[in-house]
Amino acid sequence: MAMIELGFGRQNFHPLKRKSSLLLKLIAVVFAVLLFCEFLIYYLAIFQCNWPEVKTTASDGEQTTREPVLKAMFLADTHLLGEFLGHWLDKLRREWQMERAFQTALWLLQPEVVFILGDIFDEGKWSTPEAWADDVERFQKMFRHPSHVQLKVVAGNHDIGFHYEMNTYKVERFEKVF
C-alpha cells in the first residue's frame, strides 16, 4: 500500500499554539495602549509644565536672592455630573480623567494651594440632599489632597443656583461643606 504524504511531514504545525500566541500579543498590545492612554498620558502631558522662575531686581539693577513664591493651581468649571442629567458612562469617563489629571498635577507640580473657581457640580442648584451628599463624596474622592495643600472653593451658579434660584438653604449647604 502506498503512503500519501500531504506535505506536512514531521513539521511542527500547531495552529492552536499559534493562535494562543497571537491572542497573548493582542492582549499585551491592548493592555499597553490602555495603560498609556488612561494613566501614563497624564504624566507625559503634565511633566512638560513647570512653575515660572520669578527673579527680583534691586533698585541698582542687580538680581537679588529669590523671595519665596506661592505655588497656586487654579481649576474652574469641573461640572461634575449629577444623578439627573449625567449618563453613568459619561460620568465614569469624565471623573476618571479629572481625577487622574488632578492627582498627577498635585504629585508632579506640588502646589501649596489649589483654587477651584465655581461650578463644581452641574446639578447642585436642584440637587436633593441625598444627591448633594453623593456629589460631595465624589468630589472629595476625586480632589483629595495632602494636608499641607490648601483647597479653596468658590461657589458658582450651578452649585447654589442663579441669582433668582439662590436661597439660604443652598448657600448654607455649600458653605457647610466648603
Range of the domain at 137: 72-177
171 occurs within a structural domain? yes
Cell of 40: 501614563
117 occurs within a structural domain? yes
DSSP summary character for residue 57:
B
Number of domains the chain is built from: 1
89 occurs within a structural domain? yes
11 occurs within a structural domain? no
pLDDT tens digit sequence for 69-127: 899 999 999 999 888 887 888 888 889 999 999 999 999 999 999 999 989 998 888 88
Task: Please report the DSSP string for 113-166 in residue order.
Answer: EEEEES--BSSGGG--HHHHHHHHHHHHHHT---TTSEEEEE--HHHH--TTT-
CATH number reported for the structural domain that contains residue 165 in this entry:
3.60.21.10
- Predicted TM-score (pTM) of this structure: 0.75
95 occurs within a structural domain? yes
Do residues 46 and 108 make contact, with C-beta atoms less than 8 angstroms apart? yes
